[in-house]
Amino acid sequence: MLTELLKSAAARFPDKAAVLQGSTSVSFSELDRSSDHIAHLLRAKGIERGDHVVILSENSIPGIAFFWGVLKTGATVVDLPHLAPSETLVEILDECKPGAACLSRRMLDQLEGTSVERRLPAVRLSDDDAQAHVPAPRTPAPADADEDDVAIVLYTSGTTGKPKGVMLTHRNLASNIQASNELQGLTHEDSLLLVVPLHFVHGRMQLLMHTMIGGSIALSEGFQFPKRVLQEIVAFGVSGLSGVPYHFNALLKRSSLRDTLTPDLRYVLITGGALSAEATAQLREALPDVKVHLAYGQTEASPRITYLGPDELTSRPGSVGRALPGVEVEILDEDGAPLPAGQVGEVVAKGPNIMRGYFASEELTAEVLDSEGRLHTGDWGRLDADGYLFLAGRKSQMIKTAGERVFPGEIEDVIGSHPDVRECVVFGIPDPLLGERLVAQVVAACSDLDEQSVRGHCLEHLSYVRTPREIQLVDALPKTASAKIDRGRVVQNYMESLEAKSRGSST
């Protein structure tokens, strides 16, 4: 059971800060007591093993007490994305039918009188119920839960379609944090600045891993202001930072990372996508004494599938590493047959970290979990002779142009290496001659950049076929809640602009 992690940390490090936020902190023993109190309140209201309890809260100390308190009842945490539109929240609430809700005071006030508030169950706890100083009464004996019970349901946002509830068991998550720490080797002396929301699997994993080792987590104010994040790294004195490529690109291009001393920072972990070779080199140059780790995975895998250590960045450039201990990775062709080393196919993974399935959707589950329990990731990639994985892109993003298969990532890496480019996205649109035409949208880092400069840079490093036929300079690119470029919205906006131009020219 995951709750044993907190009990163990509270016994070993009772007075150590478990979570820091601004000038406030809570120790492991205080967090253990306050979450006991939450568990007592929920169980007194009839919440028990197998029930669903939604958490709707910003990253906060009370929000973390909610998380541990729900798990202590034997119930399942259903994480709600607090920035999601009301329609999404209503869909999730209608689907999971929670028995109770734990909400921040801000969310309670914001939702008052809305369709979301009307869907919430009658049993509701707020920040006042999660204060660390509340003395916990004698908590009922733990529910008769086991490691195969679902601990968390996380709704993946995606870029299109209805969010899917990923069911992760205690075993899924425990196996993943244990295997990950075997490779990273973190100890109770480590600490982390958490810059991602706790309703993402990335956030939950970091919380669980640092509770397991007795390490502290500092909650960031967010990445709207990268300069502020850099100040937080220094002020909190954290030893680690984990983020997606967007976070590290933002630090490199929108903060004084290269000129700021970060004496306590020992490592960074890049996950959630590939950081370009150019940006990785810049990061290592900016942080010469900091070890850079890479990880690849998905929410459905709790989340990590592969890992690449700092010493392998140079020897295996472009790789996302080898499978975690206990995890198997294969490459399959379109008929489901295994492919030999060096050939590109779909990445599939099998192990104790693979999800139970999607909540309330056996049909969707069957699309990604096969009869052998393997997760079909939807990513294209290849394994080398030593088992290192190299990703080529998403199956859904593959572009066929002029008879060639092209993955946007390879072109985005080239464009992103241009010194005057802040970020970019490449996509394909229907073309009667080419099949699909490559389009690149680029956000400039300075006013000197123009389309011809980008095109010339591409032609220096790519074949003519792989050079975008159309290059647009844009002010910004739409993002998903997880700070990834929203490719679906990019294409939709582009097609709508084409339609608008067509209507204008016909009038």
Same domain? 60 vs 115: yes
Give me the DSSP letters along 88-140: HHHHHHHHH--SEEEE-HHHHHHHTTSHHHHHS-S-EE-GGGG-TTSPP-PPP
Same domain? 61 vs 193: no
What is the C-alpha separation between 390 and 403, in angstroms, rounded?
A: 23
Band (pLDDT 50/70/90 cuts) for residue 126 is very high
pLDDT of residue 393: 75
pLDDT > 90 fraction of the chain, expressed in percent and rounded: 72
Q: How big is the chain, counted in residues?
A: 507
Q: Residues 400-427: pLDDT tens digits?
A: 887 777 889 889 989 999 999 999 999 9
Q: Residues 199-232: pLDDT tens digits?
A: 999 999 999 999 999 999 999 998 888 999 999 9
CB 390 within 8 A of CB 316: no
CATH of the domain at 464: 3.30.300.30
pLDDT of residue 133: 53
Residue 27 lies in a domain: yes
Same domain? 89 vs 209: no
CB neighbourhood size of 478 (10 A): 15
Q: How far is CA 287 from each of CA 84, 187, 283, rounded to the nearest angstrom?
A: 35, 21, 6
Structure tokens at 223: 């990445």
Beta strands in 207-310 (DSSP E): 216-219, 240-243, 267-270, 291-297, 304-308
Q: How far is CA 369 from each of CA 36, 66, 273, 304, 372, rounded to the nearest angstrom?
A: 36, 31, 22, 17, 8
What is the C-alpha separation between 28 and 30, in angstroms, rounded?
A: 5
Which residue bears the tokens 């060639």?
Answer: 404
Same domain? 194 vs 129: no
Which residue bears the tokens 């997760």?
Answer: 375
Residue 265 lies in a domain: yes
pLDDT of residue 380: 86
Q: 334 Cβ partners below 8 Å, 6+ apart? A: 345, 346
Q: Look up the domain containing 272 and give its range.
A: 185-289
Q: Which residue has the higher pLDDT, 335 or 238?
A: 238
Average pLDDT, the chain: 91
Paired strand residues for 438: 428
Residue 142 in this model has a pLDDT that exceeds 70: no
Q: 107 Cβ partners below 8 Å, 6+ apart? A: 56, 57, 58, 82
Paired strand residues for 306: 296, 323
Same domain? 14 vs 121: yes
Structure tokens at 478: 């739409």
Same domain? 138 vs 13: yes
Same domain? 47 vs 127: yes
CB 133 within 8 A of CB 58: no
Residue 159 in this model has a pLDDT that exceeds 50: no
Same domain? 205 vs 132: no
Question: What is the rounded average pLDDT of the residues 59-69?
Answer: 97
pLDDT of residue 141: 55
What is the phi/psi pair of residue 203, to 5°?
-65, -45
Domain boundary among 260, 289, 318: 289
pLDDT of residue 84: 83
Q: How far is CA 82 from each of CA 13, 182, 479, rounded to the nearest angstrom?
A: 31, 33, 16
Same domain? 101 vs 225: no
Domain tally for the chain? 3
Which is it for the CA torsion 119, 122, 125, 128, positive or negative? positive
Same domain? 191 vs 282: yes
Residue 238 lies in a domain: yes
Q: How far is CA 188 from each of CA 131, 177, 209, 265, rounded to the nearest angstrom?
A: 25, 14, 10, 15
Give me the DSSP letters along 315-373: TSTT--BEEPTT-EEEEE-TTS-B--TT--EEEEEESTTS-SEETT-HHHHHHHB-TT-
What is the phi/psi pair of residue 401, to 5°?
-130, 130
Residue 85 lies in a domain: yes
pTM for this one?
A: 0.83
Domain boundary among 145, 175, 207: 145
CB 471 within 8 A of CB 454: yes
CB neighbourhood size of 113 (10 A): 7
Q: Residues 358-387: pLDDT tens digits?
A: 999 899 999 999 999 999 998 888 999 999
Residue 346 lies in a domain: no
Round to the nearest angstrom and report the end-to-end CA distance of the chain: 66
pLDDT of residue 85: 84
Same domain? 141 vs 3: yes
Residue 84 lies in a domain: yes
| DSSP label of 301 | G
Residue 422 lies in a domain: yes
Q: Residues 462-506: pLDDT tens digits?
A: 989 899 999 999 999 998 877 788 887 898 889 888 877 766 665
Residue 317 lies in a domain: no
Q: Is 305 helix (H, G, I), strand (E, B) or coil?
A: strand
